[in-house]
Amino acid sequence: MNATVLTSRQLENNLVDDSIRQTINRMIDGLIGSLPDPNRLTSAERRGIIARYTAVLEGNFIYWMTATLLAVQAEEARPILLDNLHEEVRDAHPAMMRRFAIAAHAFPTDTDALAVHEDMTNVRLFLGRLSGVQSVLTMAFFEGFIQKFMGYLADLAKDQGSSEMEYTDVHGVCDIEHTEGLFLALAAEMAVNPLDPKQDLFEGVYLLRTLIQTIAFGQEDTLKA
**Residue 48: pLDDT over 80:** yes
User: Binning pLDDT at 50, 70 and 90, where does residue 17 land?
Assistant: confident
Domain-wise residue ranges, the chain: 2-224
pLDDT of residue 173: 66
In whole angstroms, give the CA distance from residue 150 to residue 112. Answer: 20
CB burial readout 188-211, b (16+ within 10 A) else e: bbbeebebeeeeebbbbbebbbbb
* In the predicted structure, residue 2 carries a pLDDT above the cut 50: no
Give the CATH class of 2-224: mainly alpha
- For residues 113 and 56, the answer to whether their CB atoms sit within 8 Å is no
Residue 16 confidence class, pLDDT cut points 50, 70, 90: low
Please name the helix (run of DSSP H) or strand (run of DSSP E) that holds residue 30, with its range, or none. helix 2-34
- pLDDT at position 98: 97
- Whether 177 has a pLDDT exceeding 50, the answer reads yes
Q: How confident is the model at residue 15 (pLDDT cuts 50, 70, 90)?
A: very low
pLDDT of residue 220: 57
What whole-number distance in Å separates Cα of residue 97 and Cα of residue 215?
Answer: 15
